[in-house]
Amino acid sequence: MKFLGKFFLTLLLLVLLALVVLYVLLQTQWGAGWFSRWVSDKTAWHLSLSKIEHNFSSPSHIILDDFSFGHDGQPAVLVAKRVDLGLALVQFSDPLHFSSIEVRDGEINLANQTPDTTLPMQANRLQLNNVHIESPHSALPLSAQRVNGGIVPWKPTPDNMPGSDAQFQMSAGSLTLNGVPATNVLLQGSVVKRQLMLNNIGADLARGSMTGSAGRDAQGNWKINQLRLNDIRLQTRQTLSEFLRPLREVPSVSINRLDMTDARLQGPDWAVTDLDLTLKNITLRGDDWQSEDGSLAMNAGNFINGSFELNDPIVNAEFSAQGVQLTQFSSRWVNGVIRASGSWTRSDKRLTLDDVAVAGLEYTLPQNWRDRWQAALPDWLDSVLVKRATANRNLIIDINPAFPFQMTALDGSADNLLLARQHQWGIWSGKASFNAAEATFNRTDLRHPSIALSASDQQIQVSEMSAFNGNGLLEGTATVGQDAQRPLTLNLKGQAVPANVLENWGWPALPLSGNSNMQLQLKGSLSAAAPLRSGAEGSLSVTTDTQSVQQTMRGGQVQ
């Protein structure tokens, strides 16, 4: 028995000695290298250490110096100057589940993580101290520096580094989210059953500040409970469409309340200055939206998108399941003022403007305005109805060299004017009348031109058309059919007008001079597929004091 006792005692001492030797060797550079090679050879991960430290003053902690860890054949996911592993009894059954993990002075690069895999470690608490985080391939690309904070507990999954059930609190000295930089960032929240809750968000953003709270469900739908942006001065290289793309790429964004105060946003071809905005109770889903009781109140100094610019715009609108009620829109535009109120209804996708007023505009039509007029409207806009419109003292210019024109001091009014239907611009019903102090149509000067028209499903009836030219008066009537060919009938007469008043408008020059009386009857087609003259037929009679000429046009040729 004494022999057995001595044997087991000796064996125990040898085991203890081996453990002491192993304990000492592991804390040497050779031991750290051997342990790194053993993990790298036996697992699908590579590990690199310069030293393993243990202190009996903190017996439940192991310190790993110059730590590097990642997938075999890939750059490291985690690199840190020091990693502190807190040991726990649970490690007897789960060796890689630690009481705590503290990462100090390191970098986490999730771009180096292999898809559908996750880090093998877990911890009751993950602590980060001065850590740099890169996540360029996530739904919102992220880069954060000087990160401090903790996650309790930390159980990472392949598609969610914080885990599926945890609480966290993080701060970052600087952070870039989807290309937008911020400093002094604070995030507090939790992950519950793959639902992200951000109970407190704070940051210095673009020389301003941001505070709020938000959440995201397991399907990726965001809900902004409250978000406030103050004194933002944001410059970006993104176009306006690219800047707003994240809102369209997520399944949905529900906004309970969004406030912006004195914001300035600028991109390569767009800008908004001095923006104040309050948006409530609306859900954005792709290019669509839903709301039961939403509202928008907005004003700005300037809004610029390409060549389009509004000065001092004000918008107040209310959203409901039925559509949008535009209670107020006003803005200075091209040196004038435009005001409107109305509604858009979801059921028929109609924009109804109850009242529109434009005054003092100095507007040059874009070169492609005819193409825009013929282009189909977007899916969300089927028709446009203007119940009442007024125009005062406007200047309208078209610099198209084929047929330039200008109208000065243009006034007008319209009632129940249907300007679009079935996604196509036009004048489909209603009445309108316009007059100007002066006008020039393809180098022909007119004084006091005026026109009155009414439209129905079948035709546009121009009941009055007149203008002074030279010493005389031009008067006429016309009809334009509403079918695809747009058949035109025009009757025009002139009294004491220049004999060649029609030359700049397409009729060949006449062998006459001086004032004349004239009568023109013309039929043709205003179809977009062919010019008017190519199919025009009509007759012209011109009489001066000494001569008279009668001409006939067929197929655009005078006979």
Q: Going by DSSP bridges, is the β-strand pair 142-152/165-177 parallel, antiparallel, or unpaired? A: antiparallel
Question: What pLDDT does residue 59 have?
Answer: 75
- Does residue 493 lie in a domain region? yes
Q: What is the 3-state secondary structure (H, E, C) of 253-312?
A: EEEEEEEEEEEEEECCCEEEEEEEEEEEEEEEECCEEECCCEEEEEECCEEEECCEEEEE
Question: What pLDDT does residue 7 have?
Answer: 47
For the chain, which residues score pLDDT lower than 50?
Answer: 7-8, 16-26
* Sign of the alpha-carbon torsion through 16, 17, 22, 27: positive
- Does residue 321 lie in a domain region? no
What CA–CA distance (Å, rounded) separates 203 from 226? 14
Both tokens of 359, joined, read 């005054």
Question: What pLDDT does residue 502 have?
Answer: 92
- Does residue 190 lie in a domain region? no
For residue 495, give its domain range: 458-559
Question: What pLDDT does residue 301 have?
Answer: 96
Question: What pLDDT does residue 193 have?
Answer: 81
- Does residue 559 lie in a domain region? yes
Buried b or exposed e, range 291-303, using 16+ CB within 10 angstroms: beebbbbbebbbb
Q: Give the side-chain half-sphere CA count within 13 A for 163.
A: 21
Q: Where are the beta strands (DSSP E) in 137-179?
A: 142-152, 165-177
Total domain count, the chain: 1
What CA–CA distance (Å, rounded) separates 140 from 175? 12
Q: What are phi and psi of 370, to 5 degrees?
A: -65, -40
Both tokens of 120, joined, read 């093998």
- Does residue 551 lie in a domain region? yes
Q: What is the 3-state secondary structure (H, E, C) of 333-389?
A: ECCEEEEEEEEEECCCCEEEEEEEEEECCEEECCCCHHHHHHCECCCCCCEEEEEEE
What CA–CA distance (Å, rounded) separates 488 from 484? 12
Question: What pLDDT does residue 12 have?
Answer: 54
- Does residue 17 lie in a domain region? no
**CB neighbours of residue 131 within 10 Å:** 23
- Does residue 495 lie in a domain region? yes
- Does residue 201 lie in a domain region? no
